[in-house]
Amino acid sequence: MTKADVVAAQGTWAKYVVARDVEALLKLYDFGSPEKPLLFKPTLANVIRHDEEAARSYFVGGNIGYPHDDGFLNCGWKKVTFCSAVGPISENGGLSFRDMGNYTFADGNGNETHADYTFMYHKLNGVVLIALQHSSLVWEPRDGD
């Protein structure tokens, strides 16, 4: 796996968010096993996800087990831009990569939502997959702070 593979995976993730393609998006995650599950803390949720059902609920909503999920893909994002702090960093001799930075989600009205991210990637059966994702809205200090 190379840095270019990770950057391409980020571009693919952004493309599927804009296309609202939940099936393709979920295929970018390694849901692992009960002993080594996916670790996914979504941007607009406070519940950490470990499995496909929980991740799907975050992206499209409609799961009574996650009543606060409105569906991240329902926000109508038209563009997603990644801005890495230092670029994806190789781990374990290139077997995995980690990346941290911020991304911007722009909707059809030009409104932007800024979030910080941390991702861990690895390659499984020739496909770069997300093994860990933490995302949170950017903290903005109040005036006078």
Model confidence pLDDT, tens digit, residues 126-139:
999 999 999 999 88
pLDDT digits (tens, 9 = 90+) for 33-68: 999 999 999 999 999 999 999 999 999 999 999 999
- Report, at the CATH architecture level, how domain 3-137 is classified: Roll (3.10)
Confidence of residue 91 (pLDDT cuts 50, 70, 90): confident
- The whole-model pTM stands at 0.92
The DSSP secondary-structure symbol of 53 reads H
Q: How do strand 89-91 and strand 112-124 relate by DSSP bridges?
A: unpaired
pLDDT digits (tens, 9 = 90+) for 95-125: 899 999 999 999 999 999 999 999 999 999 9
Domain spans, the chain: 3-137
Cα–Cα distance measured from residue 123 to residue 30, given in angstroms and rounded to the nearest whole number: 9
Cα–Cα distance measured from residue 15 to residue 66, given in angstroms and rounded to the nearest whole number: 25
Q: Is the pLDDT of residue 141 over 80?
A: no
